[in-house]
Amino acid sequence: MNTKETGFLKVLADLSFPEKKIVINPNDGFDLGLMMTDATVEIYYGMSPASWDGRSTEGVYGNIYQKNECTLGSIELSTRAVEKMGSPVRVRLHLLPAGDGTYPQVLVEQE
């Protein structure tokens, strides 16, 4: 599986965020190979490449936004998504390329 990943990022939960919104620093986005400020993806919370067995109904279509206001090494997620994962302190993002013409998948792995 050809994935790109970030290092572990400090989780910042935001009550105003919908579950389908992720904000990272552009330098962390570069690690994923993202060159645009807004990328549409399928998000799978609590998944890692080791546990990934393909698409499931757990994914949510959403967007990754790259903003300089987000501190390098941090990730902003919805409070609901953070609670669903068991309130991890740090997570890592894995980007899987879109193989069948759909959107790329992003796995949000907890430490």
The strand ranges marked E within the chain are 4-5, 9-14, 21-24, 38-45, 60-66, 74-78, 90-96, 105-110
- CATH 3.40.50.300 for domain 4-110: no
pLDDT of 99: 65
Which band of pLDDT confidence, cut at 50, 70 and 90, is reported for residue 101? low
Give the number of other CB atoms < 10 A from CB of residue 60. Answer: 14
pTM of this prediction? 0.91
41 within 8 A of 103, measured Cβ to Cβ: yes
Condensed to tens digits (0 to 9), the pLDDT of residues 60-90 reads 999 999 999 999 999 999 999 999 999 999 9
Question: What one-letter code names the amino acid at 49?
Answer: P
How far is residue 54's CA from residue 109's CA, in Å, rounded to a whole number?
A: 15
pLDDT of 48: 86
Question: To the nearest whole number, what is the mean pLDDT of the chain?
Answer: 90
